[in-house]
Amino acid sequence: MARARNRIAGIISAFGELLITAGLVMGLFVVYSLWWTNVLADRAADQDGAQVRDRWADGPGALDTKDGIGFLHVPAMGDDEILVKQGTTSTILNNGVAGYYTDPIKSALPQDKKGNFTLAAHRDGHGAKFHNIHKLKTGDAIVFESKDTWYVYKVYKSLPETTKYNVDVLQPVPKESGKTKPGRYITLTTCTPMYTSDYRYIVWGELERTEKVDRDRTPPAELL
């Protein structure tokens, strides 16, 4: 009887140790996913962003669609500038940047006379550049900085949850936002709820004005 009890106690103890080990592994995975990937992504984004600004210092040149076309500034989401690159694959977004869509619906670019500048970024981990997208309200500024122009958009509509398969939010005229005519729009997309990728959170903005970049790169009033 005593031997049986000891055997059961040993099994329970071993099982408990396994649970503790599994808990530690899961904890380490969470730390890696939500903290360390941010560290690595921010480091990569800072390096890439510095390279873009170094190239801008060389004077006029062709649009660089590989290493970054400019920087997104969204005061309501935080003080960080967000490097914008071409594409929305995980290979690109995992480096702590925002990417503009090349498919399923090709994004317009800010300098285009009409269209929808559509962007995606991670909400959690890998830089989490759109983590605070829910803080954006109607009238808030979304500013895109290119080599020679500031593009100032104002938020006019949000969609807190939609299916990940809803590509209509990326249309040149985003009718789900209430627009019916061509214009110059911007769309931010990311995963929701936080820490999941089940649905998508959408924010739409419309271009209010542009400002030429001066020698000192003085930001528009919305960023001061």
124-176 pLDDT, tens digit per residue, is 999 999 999 999 999 999 999 999 999 999 999 999 999 999 999 999 999 99
219 vs 75, 85, 160, 222, CA distance in Å? 12, 21, 30, 8
Residue 24 has pLDDT above 50, yes or no: no
Please state, rounded to an integer, the average pLDDT across all residues of the chain.
87
Is residue 99 annotated as part of the catalytic site, yes or no? no
What residue spans define the domains of the chain?
Answer: 52-223
Tokens representing 109 are 């670019």
Amino acid at position 151, single letter: Y
Residue 57 confidence (pLDDT): 85
φ/ψ bin of 84: left (φ > 0), alpha (ψ from -120 to 50), beta (otherwise): beta
Q: What are phi and psi of 156, to 5 degrees?
A: -125, -10
Mean pLDDT value of segment 12-37: 48
**How far is residue 37's CA from residue 170's CA, in Å, rounded to a whole number?**
28
For 176-198, the pLDDT digits (tens) are 999 999 999 999 999 999 989 99
pLDDT score of 185: 98
Interatomic CA distance for residues 54 and 215, integer angstroms: 14
- Name the nearest CA neighbour of 51 among 75, 37, 71, 72: 71
pLDDT of residue 200: 98
* Among 60, 32, 64, residue whose Cα is nearest residue 48: 64
pLDDT at 64: 72
Residue 11 — very low, low, confident or very high, per pLDDT cuts 50/70/90?
Answer: low
pLDDT at 67: 78
Dump pLDDT digits (tens) for 199-223. Answer: 999 999 999 999 999 989 999 999 9
Among 143, 186, 191, 202, the one annotated catalytic: 191
- Give yes or no for residue 98 having a pLDDT over 90: yes
Least confident of 6-20, 61-75, 105-119: 6-20
Confidence bin at 34 (pLDDT 50/70/90): low
pLDDT number for residue 99: 98
What CATH architecture does domain 52-223 belong to? Answer: Beta Barrel (2.40)
DSSP designation for 34: I
- Whether the predicted pLDDT of 9 surpasses 70: no
* pTM assigned to the model: 0.84
pLDDT band for 79, please (50, 70, 90 cuts): confident
